[in-house]
């Protein structure tokens, strides 16, 4: 178990459970939480024992984005360089999440605002409690949607909905987010953690290399033409075909038994 004050990580049945842990601030990001979250995704990248990640928040919120207490203009004579803070804190974590070739399941347990919403949208399978809401809070304080938000909203929702969410900063309830295809599922609050854990555990018992290559392909699809993509599928399928998990999957099918994947 890795335990910082701000992020708690435990490894269980191949699932790295990562909990944002500043409940009094609705898990808003301070510097320590940034570094601890990045460290968790670095562990997920390097450690073969980690075969899926489950990200959630402690308390009644998922994440309220940047801790605005750390940006109080009344306490500083100079204006902050937010380009620098994105480069230093948010963007490395977003890049790690998108390049991690293991599935990330997100359980949005409550409000997800600002960068907190966009961190959730960077995950691979997002479940949200029915009572949870997503808010692109940036325009309320004069900022633009960061942490990949302007990119993921535009790609997933298209311009009309992306612009309305970002410009108006109105809350989007979990069920609406599901019906717009922004998240996988809205579920009853009481069953959120169990349902998310079941999905993460199932993925952690899956053919990790094949799942990682699938994530790579789906993320690459929107930015390349079909010819390029077919070549990429060929290369990824070649790699998948050389894995022990593929041999096990076919053998298990022929022997009419469940496959036991090892992630290699």
Positions that interact with ligand T3D (CB under 6 A): 25-26, 28, 64-69, 71, 82, 85, 111, 113-115, 135, 137-138, 141, 143, 146
Among residues 174 and 213, whose Cβ is nearest to ligand T3D? 174
Among residues 64 and 153, whose Cβ is nearest to ligand T3D? 64
Among residues 112 and 213, whose Cβ is nearest to ligand T3D? 112
The residue written with tokens 């029915």 in the block is 130
DSSP state of 64: -
List phi, psi (to 5°) of 61. Answer: -120, 160
Chain centroid to Cα 23, Å, comes to 19
What residues form DSSP beta bridges with 20? 7, 57
Shortest distance (Å) from residue 19 CB to ligand T3D: 17
Shortest distance (Å) from residue 214 CB to ligand T3D: 30
What residues form DSSP beta bridges with 7? 20
Among residues 71 and 95, whose Cβ is nearest to ligand T3D? 71
Shortest distance (Å) from residue 177 CB to ligand T3D: 15
- In order of 38, 177, 255, 257, 259, the CA distances from 251 in angstroms are 38, 40, 6, 9, 8
Among residues 85 and 109, whose Cβ is nearest to ligand T3D? 85
Q: Which residue is nearest to ligand T3D (CB)?
A: 65
DSSP letters for 190-234? GGHHHHHHHHHHHHHTS-HHHHHHHHHHHHHGGGS-HHHHHHHHH
Shortest distance (Å) from residue 76 CB to ligand T3D: 12
Shortest distance (Å) from residue 78 CB to ligand T3D: 14
Q: Are 175 and 132 in contact (CB under 8 A)?
A: no
The residue written with tokens 């609705």 in the block is 26
Among residues 73 and 222, whose Cβ is nearest to ligand T3D? 73
Shortest distance (Å) from residue 88 CB to ligand T3D: 9
Q: How far apart are CA 100 and CA 151, in angstroms?
A: 18
């Amino acid at each position: 178990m890795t335990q910082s004050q701000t992020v708690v990580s435990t490894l269980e049945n191949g699932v790295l459970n990562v909990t944002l842990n500043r409940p009094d601030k609705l898990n808003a990001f301070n510097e320590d939480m940034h570094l601890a979250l990045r460290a968790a995704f670095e562990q997920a990248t390097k450690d073969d024992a980690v075969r899926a990640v489950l990200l959630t928040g402690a308390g009644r919120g998922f994440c309220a984005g940047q801790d605005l207490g750390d940006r109080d203009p009344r306490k500083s004579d100079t204006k902050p360089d937010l380009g620098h803070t994105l480069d230093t804190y948010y963007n490395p974590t977003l890049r790690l999440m998108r390049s991690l070739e293991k599935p990330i399941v997100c359980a949005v347990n409550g409000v997800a605002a600002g960068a907190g919403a966009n961190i959730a949208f960077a995950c691979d399978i997002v479940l949200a409690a029915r009572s949870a809401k997503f808010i692109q809070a940036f325009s309320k304080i004069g900022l633009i949607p960061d942490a990949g938000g302007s990119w993921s909203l535009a790609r997933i929702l298209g311009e009309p909905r992306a612009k309305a969410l970002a410009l108006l900063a109105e809350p989007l309830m979990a069920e609406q987010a599901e019906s717009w295809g922004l998240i996988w599922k809205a579920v009853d609050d009481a069953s959120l953690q169990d349902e998310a854990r079941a999905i993460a555990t199932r993925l952690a018992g899956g053919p990790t290399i094949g799942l990682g290559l699938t994530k790579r392909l789906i993320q690459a699809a929107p930015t390349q033409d079909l010819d390029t993509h077919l070549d990429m599928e060929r290369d990824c399928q070649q790699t998948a075909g050389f894995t022990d998990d593929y041999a096990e999957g076919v053998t298990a099918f022929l022997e009419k038994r469940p496959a036991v994947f090892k992630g290699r």
